[in-house]
Amino acid sequence: MEIIQLLLDGFLIAFEPLNLGLVVVGVTVGLFIGAMPGLGSVNGVAILLPLTFLVPPTSAIIFLAAIYYGAMYGGAISSIMLGIPGASTAVATTFDGRPLALKGMADKALIAAAVASFFGGTISIILFTGFAPALASVALDFGDQEIFALMLLAFATFVGLGGDDIAKTIFSICIGLVFSAVGMDIISGTPRLVFFDIIGFLHGINFLVLAIGVYGIGEMLWTIDSTRGNPSMSKVEVSTKRTISHLKEVLKEWKPAWIGSLLGFFVGILPAAGATPGSLMAYGISKMTSKNPDGYGKGEVGGVIAPEAANNSASTGAMLPMLTLGIPGSPTTAILLGGMVIWGLVPGPMMFIEQSDFVWGLTASLYAANFFAVIINILFIPVFLWVLKMPFTILAPIIFVLCLVGGYAPTEDMHDVWLMVIFGFGAYLLRKLDYPLAPAVLAIVLGPIAEPALRQSLIISGGDATVFFTRPIAGPITMIAIVLLLLPLVQVFRKKRKQAKDAEA
Amino acid sequence: MRRAELVTAVLLAAFSIYLMWKSTELNVGWVEHEGPGGGAWPFWLAGMMLVCNIWTIVNWVRKTTPQSRSQDLFMDSYAIRMFLLVGGSVVGLVAMVHVIGVYGAVPIFMLFYLRVLGRHNWVPTLVISGIAPVVIFFFFDVAMRIVLPKGYLEPLFYPLYDIFL
Amino acid sequence: MKISRRCLMGLAVIAGLGLTVNASAQAFEPVKPVDFIIMAGKGGGADKMARLMQTIVEKHKMASKPLIPINKPGGSGAEALVHVQNAKDQDHTIMVTLNSFYTTPMRQPGLGVDSLKFAPVARMAEDTFLLWVHKDSGLTTFEQWVDHVKSVGNQWVMGGTGKLQEDQLITDFLNANFDLKMKYVPYKGGGTVAKQVAGKHINSSVNNPSEIEGFYNAGVAIPLVAFTKERLDKFPNAPTMTEKGQDFAYYMQRSVVGAPGMSADAQAYYTSLFKKVFDSKEWQDYRTSKSLYGDFLSGAELQAYWKVNNETHRKMLAKAGAS
């Protein structure tokens, strides 16, 4: 087993004192960066990139990978504690993480997130270790047609996430997709939907602006209104016994963990897709296959496990095309790639042969980073819970300030902060009328991937839309997506027919 | 609630029409051998938004949704007061950033919120309002190298830049 | 005694001159972190290069205040151009530019941006373009390629970054001068384009070497022709366009510009800063390994270079628009 030998060599590199120290520091720093609303692994890795010139390249990438991992763990923290997804990868975690926290089960949700992240991370690194070069070629086979089919599938899996009002759910999806089109149309090379010629719309509407607006400002206003300014957040007392019993319950949920890990990894290795669609699909499929699908969205622990396992798994998966093909699978790996270029490493198919020290050192340190991340994360849980114990009138202004800086940080543009405030107010008012807003947030993430892929495919095929059905990989994916899309409609009609029958009877 | 449901649906329908109109700046049709034009995606999706709004209005007329039957107030006096106070203070916070920057606006916002809305004592109010900007400065400006806007207070920060950056 | 005093005086004068020279060179020092605007998104070619420059500055402690990279990719750089043009603090705002520096103001006249008004700081490099195909295409020479593409008509798909930007201008040139009917598909970034070639989703590309080098090293992507004046050291087998009878060379500038209205002192400061970056071993290594062209240019020379290129692009765009 040559791979095992190489991996053992890698562990020798990963366990050098310097590298091990960097892993621990990186994971901790990443955890906090990820826990800030508005800052995710992209920011962490981009900002700390220049600091890594102090150490040799292998140590540097180990450090950055540790930050990446830590931030993926940390993203769940703000999703659960504040209900604000810190990054697009953690949106799905809010669906059940937030309700759990409101029920006084924040610690359970945090433990579930940590354990699921560890599980997803580990599974994906094992797959990575065993099959890296083989899987790289799968990534290459994914052209625009396949990416579009995949996006269709992603939409299909979460079509059931909206509320009971179908009109409002579809409205929400559409408005998200329209907002995602704001800015530059890369195919025609012309700006579009630049409202009132405000220059800030040229960079489009950042996902985080909508997410922080909806889940930060909108959610706070809603909470103040619905609880009359005095929310009774159930207090959580941490004890070892409680933690262990949570841990036992979480470990029973193996199905969402597997769904998340495998789906996340395979979606993660596809270029352009990344961790966000992976985590959404994992959530949707885990809901569909669950024995208790109605509990999802109301605080089902599986709804935290599936997306968290998926996003960590996908973040490892995204490194695969980066290392083997030199193609980043996610924005964060794009920056990592930039780092490798700075250090004079050439990612690509030759890398596993020419720089095997580097590759295996990195792989081994991913195991280590994952291990330390779960431990550090669980150790910090009491600290995070302490935050929840603050009186609401102290927590609220702090969250508003976090929204302000979190909205500013990604683009460093006050335009986005104003937009976020407007979205927040709008979200609050719409929510009072029961408009579901999660579909809009998801749509704004997937729209910019789906639309260009659709149009690029059609240009290549000369306007022939059948390519989505006839290509060997895209075809089956499209068919599954269509079936999944039609399923809820069939259910609705069945229900109606049943009601009609009942009425007759 | 019933009236708000209708007003919102009509407003959103108007917004959808605006989006559709705005999309027509680009080609919204099908380009031969190329597929949809640059405006097609937002145009037709905004069209679907419009359809959904009309659907909601139909539901309203037929009273099939809970909101269209509800006789509750959309916003009672408490909700309106809190929305104006809290929403207004957030708008004030963002507006102040343009003038006196994050480090001027945040303490003022915190003071107002904690003291006036939260009715906390002066001691915790002052402590939290004082600590918040310091923490933000070290996390964002120093550690993360995201230089937050400082407005007209920028010169006050030159010595700090010399020391920490 | 007298002589030595005179000598001393002379020395003092020289020393004084030296000091004043020094003092004028140091007349400007940033008092706050410098906004380092990047006209492209995170992870792209321009972004990588900007972050490399920032890293070199920090590594060798070349500047007293850090450069803060800020990505403003909106509207093919339109957002960045407007932001820098309207910068309140001109002496602390610089930007990394590409060729969209010329084309974007021309394509979006409503912005009111005049490229030539920006303060020239430094041209750090010119990136090169080559024509790439997949090895399985069976094409090994440019002539074969031309014959084949002619025979398949508009079934040949060329991918590139953006619409009416660098890659499409080259594609238009090939279509016009070799009587081809290639279809052009715009993508968001050069890395994606390279991947599409390697995955055989498109037939060819005109990537920069840095974007596709991984696939080249693996033997998957093959360069057929270089759009440069001389053959590139790294790709000795790729003939130049000139050898193929067309006087055509096209480069992507990698320059640093200052906000319009930047003071002369500040401009001098940034020029000397980026000269140091240019001379650093890291930058020189990067230039060699990525087949970058172009010497260091600054001040009036850079301004003149822009003028020439601005006109070239105006003509190219006019042609592209007409077709």
Question: C108 and C174 in contact (C-beta within 8 Å)?
Answer: no
Is the pLDDT score of C1 beyond 60?
A: no
All structural domains of chain B with their residue ranges: 2-69, 77-164
How many Cβ atoms from other residues are within 10 Å of residue C63's Cβ?
Answer: 19
* ∠ CA A153-A155-A160, rounded to 5°: 115
| Nearest CA distance, B162 vs chain C (angstrom) | 8
Query: What is the reported pLDDT for A72?
Result: 87
Taking only the tens of pLDDT, chain A with its 505 residues reads: 677 888 888 888 888 888 889 999 999 989 988 888 777 787 788 777 777 767 787 888 888 889 988 988 888 988 898 888 877 888 889 999 989 988 888 889 999 999 999 999 999 999 988 887 777 777 788 889 998 998 888 888 766 666 678 889 889 999 999 999 999 898 988 899 999 989 899 999 988 899 889 988 998 898 888 888 766 555 667 778 888 888 888 888 899 999 999 999 988 888 666 788 888 889 988 988 888 888 888 889 999 999 999 999 998 888 888 887 777 767 788 778 878 877 777 777 677 777 778 888 888 888 988 999 999 998 888 888 887 778 888 888 998 998 999 889 888 899 999 999 999 999 999 999 989 888 898 888 888 889 999 999 999 999 899 999 999 889 998 998 898 888 777 777 777 777 777 766 6
**Closest residue on chain A to C83 (Cα):** A199
Query: What is the reported pLDDT for A163?
Result: 63
B72 to chain C, any CB pair closer than 8 A? The answer is no
Is the pLDDT score of C3 beyond 50?
A: no
Question: A202 and C79 in contact (C-beta within 8 Å)?
Answer: yes
Tokens of A86: 């810190």
Query: What is the reported pLDDT for B6?
Result: 94
User: Distance between CA atoms of A83 and A276, rounded to whole angstroms?
Assistant: 17
From C69, C72, C183, residue closest to A459, measured CB to CB: C183
Query: What is the reported pLDDT for A321?
Result: 80
Query: What is the reported pLDDT for A35?
Result: 86
- How many Å separate Cα A422 from the centre of its chain? 24
C10 to chain A, any CB pair closer than 8 A? The answer is no
From C32, C66, C154, residue closest to B145, measured CB to CB: C66
Question: B133 and B106 in contact (C-beta within 8 Å)?
Answer: yes
- Pairing outcome for strands C183-187 and C157-161: parallel
Q: Do C31 and B165 touch (CB under 8 A)?
A: no
- Helix, strand, coil % (nearest 5) of chain A? 80, 0, 20
Residues of B in Cβ contact (< 8 Å) with A221: 82-83, 86-87
Q: Which chains touch C (3 or more CB pairs under 8 A)?
A: A, B
Look at residue A302 and give its three-state secondary structure.
helix
Tokens of A434: 């029961």
Query: What is the reported pLDDT for A143?
Result: 87
Question: A159 and A436 in contact (C-beta within 8 Å)?
Answer: no
User: Distance between CA atoms of C159 and C153, rounded to whole angstroms?
Assistant: 16
Report residues of chain B scoring pLDDT below 50: none
Query: What is the reported pLDDT for A390?
Result: 81
Phi, psi at C34, each rounded to 5° = -95, 130
* Integer CA distances (angstroms), C272 to A138, C26, C64, C92, C263, in order: 48, 10, 13, 15, 14
The residues pairing with C184 across neighbouring beta strands, listed in sequence order, are C158
User: Distance between CA atoms of C9 and A385, rounded to whole angstroms?
Assistant: 74
How do residues A398-435 score in pLDDT, each as one tens digit? 989 989 998 898 888 999 999 999 999 999 999 999 89
Q: What is the DSSP letter of B114?
A: I
| Nearest CA distance, A16 vs chain C (angstrom) | 24
pLDDT confidence band for C20 (50 / 70 / 90): very low
pLDDT confidence band for C24 (50 / 70 / 90): very low
> How much is the average pLDDT of C174-190?
92
Q: Which chains touch B (3 or more CB pairs under 8 A)?
A: A, C
- What is the residue-averaged pLDDT of chain A? 85
Look at residue A212 and give its three-state secondary structure.
helix
Q: Which domains does chain C have, with CATH numbers?
A: 34-127+251-322 (3.40.190.150), 130-244 (3.40.190.10)
Is the pLDDT score of C11 beyond 80?
A: no
A145 contact partners, CB below 8 Å, separation of at least 6: A453, A457, A461, A467, A468, A471, A474
Query: What is the reported pLDDT for C123?
Result: 96
Amino acid, single-letter form, for residue A437: L
Q: Where are the alpha helices (DSSP H) in C44-165?
A: 45-59, 78-85, 100-107, 142-152
User: Distance between CA atoms of A218 and B27, rounded to whole angstroms?
Assistant: 35
User: Distance between CA atoms of B156 and B104, rounded to whole angstroms?
Assistant: 11
Q: Counting Cβ atoms within 10 Å, is residue A423 exposed (0-12), middle (13-18) or buried (19+)?
A: buried
DSSP C232-292: -TT-TTS-BTGGGT-----EEEEEEEE-TT--HHHHHHHHHHHHHHHHSHHHHHHHHHTT-
Question: A101 and A388 in contact (C-beta within 8 Å)?
Answer: yes
Query: What is the reported pLDDT for C23?
Result: 42
- How many Å separate Cα A431 from the centre of its chain? 23
User: Distance between CA atoms of A324 and A102, rounded to whole angstroms?
Assistant: 43
Tokens of A163: 């509320």
How many Cβ atoms from other residues are within 10 Å of residue A152's Cβ?
Answer: 23
Residues of C in Cβ contact (< 8 Å) with A189: 76, 107, 162-165, 186
How many Cβ atoms from other residues are within 10 Å of residue A281's Cβ?
Answer: 28
Tokens 């102290």 sit on residue: A394
Question: C202 and C160 in contact (C-beta within 8 Å)?
Answer: no
Question: A7 and A364 in contact (C-beta within 8 Å)?
Answer: yes
User: Distance between CA atoms of B2 and B60, rounded to whole angstroms?
Assistant: 8
* Integer CA distances (angstroms), C24 to A35, B106, C28, C265, C267, in order: 47, 40, 8, 8, 12
- Which of 45-74 (A) contact C at CB < 8 A? 46, 49-50, 53
B38 to chain A, any CB pair closer than 8 A? The answer is yes
